[in-house]
Amino acid sequence: MDRSSLALARTRRAYELAHVASGARGLVLTATLLAVAAALHELTPATWLLAGLLGATLAVFGWRGGALRRGGVLGVAAGTLPLVVPALLSGAGPSLECLACAAEPTTGGVLICLGVGALAGVLVGGGARRDAVPQRCVVAAAAVAALTGSLGCGLTVLGGAIVAALSVGAATAWLATAAAR
């Protein structure tokens, strides 16, 4: 091999290793989010399923790079709100009981989950609009945020409420920033 071919091979190997390392960081981030979910909520089989889907999604998005990687990071940041805030507010009173583990949802708890989910959606939509490839970024961010936020509620009715609120918030922010342009 001549020097230029050897340099090209090294550069290619470094490029591929960087993408694999980015995918591995997604798995580490998923383990961290699962530890947070375990500290705040009761883990169910649905939680483990969602964590597996989140880990696979973050690993693939990290490996692919570009708008998908940026969307994954944005989604984790936005999805952490619905994962953490309802559990933290549940200590404020019985009407705000955390809904991940409760048999009967409370009105205050549902409103908190919907509000925090909508806020996460606004963060997703607004952040994705500023990306170089906003269509890919918003899809990646919304998927990751929904999986991250649902780690607390699993596949309960409120997990669906968080995802619905997140979707509406993301669409609203997306449309509002698109109209402003």
The pLDDT tens digits for 139-175 are 899 889 988 988 876 555 555 666 677 777 777 766 6
Helix segments in 65-133, DSSP class H? 66-89, 107-129
Q: Between residues 141 and 113, which one has the greater pLDDT?
A: 141
pLDDT at 3: 86
Q: Between residues 95 and 19, which one has the greater pLDDT?
A: 19
Q: Mean pLDDT across the stretch 81-98?
A: 68
Measured from the Cβ of residue 104, the count of other Cβ atoms closer than 10 Å reads 7
pLDDT at 152: 77
Q: Mean pLDDT across the stretch 17-22?
A: 91
Q: Mean pLDDT across the stretch 62-76?
A: 94
- Whether the per-residue pLDDT at 90 is higher than 70: the answer is no
Confidence of residue 100 (pLDDT cuts 50, 70, 90): very low
Q: Mean pLDDT across the stretch 95-102?
A: 50
101 φ, ψ to 5°?
-115, -15
Q: Mean pLDDT across the stretch 108-118?
A: 78
pTM of full prediction above 0.95: no
DSSP-derived secondary structure letter, 85: H
- On the 0-12 / 13-18 / 19+ scale of CB atoms within 10 A, 98 is buried
In whole angstroms, give the CA distance from residue 35 to residue 41: 10
Please choose, from the candidates 17, 33, 40, 13, the residue with its C-alpha nearest in 3D space to the C-alpha of residue 75.
33
Question: How much helix, strand and coil, in percent to the nearest 5, is found in the chain?
Answer: 85, 0, 15
What does the buried/exposed string (b/e) look like for 13-47 if buried means 16 or more CB atoms within 10 Å of the residue's CB? Answer: eeeeeeeeebbebbeebbeebbebbeebbeeeeeb
What is the rounded average pLDDT for all residues in the chain?
81
30 φ, ψ to 5°?
-65, -45
Helix (H, G, I), strand (E, B) or coil at 97: coil
For residue 21, the one-letter residue type is A
Please choose, from the candidates 62, 67, 38, 45, the residue with its C-alpha nearest in 3D space to the C-alpha of residue 139.
67
- Whether the per-residue pLDDT at 4 is higher than 70: the answer is yes
Percent of the chain with pLDDT over 70: 78
Q: Between residues 99 and 134, which one has the greater pLDDT?
A: 134
